[in-house]
Amino acid sequence: MRIITISREFGSGGRELGKRLADALGYDYYDNEIISQIAKNLGLDEDYIENTLSNHNWQDFTLTYNETIGSSYYDQMDKVNLLIEQKNVIEKIATLGKNFVIVGRNADIILEKYEPFNIFVCASMESKIKRCLERKNKDKSYTKKVLEQKIKKIDKNRSRTRQLMSDLTWGNPQNYHLTVNTSNIRIASLIPAVSSYVNNWFSEKEKSTENNQ
């Protein structure tokens, strides 16, 4: 089984890279499917799970959710519980034994024992802001300054959530097999070479495993 994990800075196009890579390689692709599964398992609303897990609650949580949902202590407990359930779902996916690409969710840490190929996707702030503005979503309505603040906050949250699970620092290239900078380049144009890199890497590793047996 070959697993590719994609970690990425917000706005770097990591999700697009993951999806296109899965398509090119004929692998399964997991992203929001995981949220749906958690929702089903726990009988909770998908939007609520998405909001709590996504780190997109980049504006201070207390200002937006607390009055309806409760104290920030309980919100944090909810987040921890959801992270545990997310971990369960991801581990379940791996037991299916099929090749897959998974985006975010600290899957590189959770799936470590399966020796996945781990990609980190980064880009310059200018390029990340540009990508956010091109997306067909609410990011369009933000000013560049507010977008930059949002990007930094989301990435800080991603980095902190990772600290819960591992000492391997988020975004440090030593902790990934390949780190791709998507500044000023079409994601689609990178896919043939990244696919080829990943295929070579797995072939090499499988060869050396065979030789050691």
What does the binding site for a copy of itself look like in residue numbers (CB under 8 A)? Answer: 120, 122-124, 171, 173-174, 176-181, 184-186, 189-190, 192-194, 196-197, 199-201, 203-205
What are residue 4's DSSP bridge partners?
A: 101, 117
Q: Report the b/e string of 83-114 with b at 16+ CB within 10 A.
A: bebbbebbeebbeeeeebbbbbbbbbbbbeee
Least distance from C-beta 156 to a copy of itself, angstroms? 15
- Identity of the residue, 141 or 174, whose beta carbon is nearer to a copy of itself in the bound complex: 174
Least distance from C-beta 198 to a copy of itself, angstroms? 8
Helices (H), the chain: 14-25, 32-42, 46-53, 61-64, 66-69, 72-95, 107-110, 125-134, 144-165, 187-212
- Identity of the residue, 3 or 122, whose beta carbon is nearer to a copy of itself in the bound complex: 122
- Identity of the residue, 57 or 127, whose beta carbon is nearer to a copy of itself in the bound complex: 127
Least distance from C-beta 10 to a copy of itself, angstroms? 14
User: Residues 34, 105: contact at Cβ < 8 Å?
Assistant: yes
- Identity of the residue, 1 or 193, whose beta carbon is nearer to a copy of itself in the bound complex: 193
Least distance from C-beta 197 to a copy of itself, angstroms? 4
Tell me which residue of 69, 41, 39 sits closest to 57, measured CA to CA: 69
User: Residues 12, 113: contact at Cβ < 8 Å?
Assistant: no
Least distance from C-beta 14 to a copy of itself, angstroms? 13
- Identity of the residue, 53 or 123, whose beta carbon is nearer to a copy of itself in the bound complex: 123
